[in-house]
Structure 1
């Protein structure tokens, strides 16, 4: 049945066209508009790739469809269909169900998933040791006329090179393992930031072995220059070239002064390391964190690093020291300055990192720091409350003490002891004892 409004408008249009002598083409309700023709052509082009799914028919305005027939995206439709319907639909579409499953990972992918964190710390620390020991060798060896015609750097170059080494090492490993590349930082994170303890030995092994690998590459690269500098092939002395790989303090310093120096520098470094990850503080974007660490290391090396050659990292000293021991420098590398390698180069950064992390977490860290051990004091309060609840009172009869009597300490109730308060149950008008305790000083 035709709509009367539509028939009147059609008759009016016909009469107007006949009176004006012009031909008028009228579109019936079933004829598609030009926009619908373009839309249908686009749907045909989208389905020309052999897709088994048909484009949903768009309903006309004012026409109601049942809920199950409303057009939805294919992803939503597949989620609402039971699994056996999906399987039947796949068979009807001519697609093998086994082919729709994602392929199993290759052996290389499985290997990386199992060892990616280890290799990230390994190569990150290797980059640190490579760039750091290389700048030491370049600056020192180039000052000899037997090796180079002109010096190739100063102490400022050493500071810049080590800061660059730390930054590049963090870039290599930061997104995978966190970019510790420092056993002292790993230990501090385990103590204060709930880093898994079972990962600590794995990180330490990766960091020390990576430092050995990086320092070994540097030694291999500069072995000929070292021979010229030492004055003979195979000649190796700790006084001339040993300090180019491991830390070598100045003669006037004592081990106590060097230990304090390392603790101070590493504590400052650790404060900035944990501050970079504090979203409640002025934390930079994630990819700019290594640049902040770069300037921190550069500043420490330029101002406080002269006396001890700034270890700041147990792996930075231990790894290259192992390389020199294997390269022919002898067992003297372990006995320099009464086991300086352990008492200062290892213990100093470890204590400094722990101190720096404690200072920041206790005084500065915001509540947005994830897994901060200092912010979990509610567990200690619960433990104390539990202990107080199970502590019996000496005189349970004295529950109706006045405020003055509760404030005044006595022999049976000394100062600081908590007493049970009483309240009246309005429903039974019976005096009951509450399990909550008020302090004597409060009343």
Structure 2
């Protein structure tokens, strides 16, 4: 049992690392000066994040359920599809994967931080932030997006997909949430996706960086956890 848990934690670590490396990587490509993708815009980011989730799941699904998201782990536990004893270890592995993935993004784009003189753009590579800072509404946006995510993932468990297709469907779900709901907060919908890279932003010697905006950090943590929990509870009400 212990060996099985360790393999699952390795899967969550690797999957979240890949998720952040490719997801924050596309934001870096679009946001950092002298990148060949500089200025590509929201469409590139939303598509890039959808692909990042898909590939993160493919890279880890042979080791773990590939939650890659504390809100998903919590939702699956509430729905009775995941053991409560594994929730905290999974969340720790996911956050650690997020930190390491963000460090790799920093290394990959190392010369570009010096060329980018906008601290907010640099922080935006690592962590989410609101288009309009209104904490209650920002919380609600993260809540709604993650409610959709977790409810849909649970609904998918009642359907039948061709072997190997499920990660692609999850990627489409993330892309849809990004296009439709993500413009308000940058759609963390995943506490590990925001907290891990925000920690990396805090500790790394990134050229031209500013503050890590910890005053906002509770929104992409609590909003997704609450939204995911309600998504699971509503799912349980359906016969």
CA contact 2:31–2:121 (8 Å) conserved in 1: no
SS at match of 1:332: coil
CA distance in 2, matches of 1:286, 1:357: 25
Aligned residue among 80, 93, 107 for 1:193: 80
SS at match of 1:176: coil
1:177-188, aligned counterparts within 5 Å? Answer: 177-188=64-75
1:15-414, aligned counterparts within 5 Å? Answer: 115-141=6-32, 144=33, 147-148=34-35, 151=38, 153-230=40-117, 238-250=119-131, 252-278=132-158, 282-328=159-205, 332-335=211-214, 339-342=215-218, 344-363=219-238
CA contact 2:21–2:102 (8 Å) conserved in 1: yes
CA contact 1:238–1:333 (8 Å) conserved in 2: no
Deviation at 1:166, TM superposition (A): 0.8
CA RMSD of aligned residues (A): 2.1
- Classify 1:331/1:154 alpha carbon distance in 2 versus 1 (closer, same or farther; 3 Å): closer
Structure with greater contact order relative to length (CA < 8 Å, sep ≥ 6): 2
CA contact 1:189–1:195 (8 Å) conserved in 2: yes
CA distance in 1, matches of 2:87, 2:168: 26
CA contact 1:325–1:331 (8 Å) conserved in 2: no
SS at match of 2:204: helix
CA contact 1:258–1:308 (8 Å) conserved in 2: yes
- Classify 1:317/1:149 alpha carbon distance in 2 versus 1 (closer, same or farther; 3 Å): closer
CA distance in 2, matches of 1:317, 1:327: 15
Note the residue ranges of structure 1 that are not aligned, 5 or more in a row: 1-110, 231-236, 366-443
Which TM-score applies when normalising by structure 2? 0.91
Which TM-score applies when normalising by structure 1? 0.50
- Classify 1:305/1:323 alpha carbon distance in 2 versus 1 (closer, same or farther; 3 Å): same
Note the residue ranges of structure 2 that are not aligned, 5 or more in a row: none
SS at match of 2:187: coil
CA distance in 1, matches of 2:230, 2:62: 26
Count of matched residue positions in the alignment of Structure 1 and Structure 2: 236
Deviation at 1:164, TM superposition (A): 0.7
User: Which of 1 and 2 has greater Rg?
Assistant: 1
Deviation at 1:176, TM superposition (A): 2.6
More helix by percentage: 2
